[in-house]
Amino acid sequence: MARRSRAGRADARRRHLAIVDLLDRQGAVSVAALAHEFQCSPATIRRDLEALSREGVPLQHHHGSVSLVRTDLATLWEAGRIPEYPAKEALAQLVVEAIPPETTVGFNGGTTTLLIARALVKANKSVRVVTNALNIAYELAVKGLDVVMVGGQVRLPNFESTGPLALATLTDMHVDWGILGAEGADPGFGFSTSSEDEAAVAQAFRACSDHIVMAVDQTKLGKKAIFRLLPWADVDVLVTNLDAPEPRAWVGEPRQQGHGAGWWVLHD
């Protein structure tokens, strides 16, 4: 009986996560449609929604449908959908502490840079932000930060604007600290991505930035995606997790550390 009860709770938990994910992607969805999607009764869906509300997920009910309240996109549920969430939060804390106030900070898209941007808000750091990521621009703008959005064609899943317009916009800008994420980090090949368009935007950030900080969690170290984002020599600082052995083998001990993350200066 206890084993069946635990299995039932696990199934409900998975369904709860799936419901939040569906609402996040589709907006308002009827209770009947949710019941059909998850092959259960409307009464079960209503109990699921009550449980989600008790746990703090902001839901809005209207005429038999339900949707997420968009006052705060940084819900606890997102932590279950972002890979390596705790590791990326550690990177975010260290980066925000190390970046000086009253500077211009540039972000490309991705979950790591999104968490760094959110940490900026929590730290109440006075910076101006340049980004080609729509979700980062939105979250920072509604919190009152000074944000410049880079134009261009929007691509999913990172909500990034890319293409000739994005590159032209960055050509006429100056950024003090460009903070970028990547899919791979290897001293021989450099920092890499699976998107040619994203690689071009990163190179444009390099051209207009005084300093480039590459923030990658330990799962990216030693990997090579198909397109070179930036050569190793074009990056000034590597920020990654302290429990990863690769950076010490490549460049020794970090210049700064904290929160389980390290700040390696690759080039002064």
Nearest to 251 by CA among 259, 235, 181: 235
Nearest to 73 by CA among 150, 161, 139, 155: 139
Same domain, yes or no: 9 and 51: yes
Q: Which of 58, 76, 94 is a domain's end point?
A: 76
Bridge partners of residue 177, in order along the sequence: 105, 211
Q: At what angle do helices 85-98 and 111-123 cross, to 10 degrees?
A: 50
Same domain, yes or no: 157 and 259: yes
pLDDT in tens, 6-25: 556 778 888 998 898 888 77
Same domain, yes or no: 35 and 97: no
pLDDT in tens, 187-238: 999 999 999 999 999 999 999 999 999 999 999 999 999 999 999 999 999 9
Structure tokens belonging to residue 63: 């005429």
CA angle 205, 209, 211 (to 5 degrees): 115
**What does the pLDDT read at residue 92?**
95
**What does the pLDDT read at residue 199?**
96
Q: Which domain holds residue 46?
A: 2-76
Same domain, yes or no: 113 and 179: yes
pTM, whole model, 2 decimals?
Answer: 0.71
